[in-house]
Amino acid sequence: MSAPFTREGQHGWSHDEGHPAGTFHTYDALDVSARFPARKVHVLVPREPPPPGGFPSLTLHDGDTVFWPGGIARKTWDAANVQSAAGAPPRVVIAVHPGDRNFEYTHADWAAGRRSWGGLAAHADYLADEILGFVSRNYPVSTRARDTAVAGAS
């Protein structure tokens, strides 16, 4: 079952797929930046009430593969099940789909000019300021650095 909602003018939909780790909020076109185009973002929201100070958060690159098969290889990290199976404390998991993956994730010309590159610093600012800013205003997450992590598969 899914239900539409709006937060800060951003349209999303909640869906509960029965994962013990939580329920999902999906924004098909989260548009929170003047510098980066709108993109799909999934937020895994724990079922438990938040602790004082909010949940830790984990932001994952390649959001198209974090919870369900996707991307070029049609593989998944299956993060919701891993979160539950590992017995990790509840956390909000933010899965951000890539725009121009090569540009956003690299700081050096690793493909000898055959691929875009050099946008890592701007993308890091986008995640920290705009994506996590939106999440921290709309979800019960801790804003302490020690409770905030970003990871990718590469």
For the chain, what is the domain count?
Answer: 1
Q: What is the mean pLDDT of residues 16-40?
A: 94
Question: Smallest Cα–Cα separation from 80: which of 51, 42, 134, 50?
Answer: 42
| CATH number reported for the structural domain that contains residue 92 in this entry | 3.40.50.1820
Model pLDDT for residues 68-81, shown as the tens digit of each residue: 887 777 888 888 88
Whether pLDDT at 139 is above 70:
yes
Q: 123 or 101: which carries more pLDDT confidence?
A: 123
pTM for the predicted model, two decimal places: 0.91
Under the banding of pLDDT at 50, 70 and 90, the label for residue 154 is low
Question: Domain containing 144: what range?
Answer: 2-151
Q: Which residue has the tokens 């998944």?
A: 76
Residue 111 confidence (pLDDT) above 80: no
Task: Give me the residue label for tokens 């003047």.
Answer: 34
Q: How far apart are CA 41 and CA 38, in angstroms?
A: 9
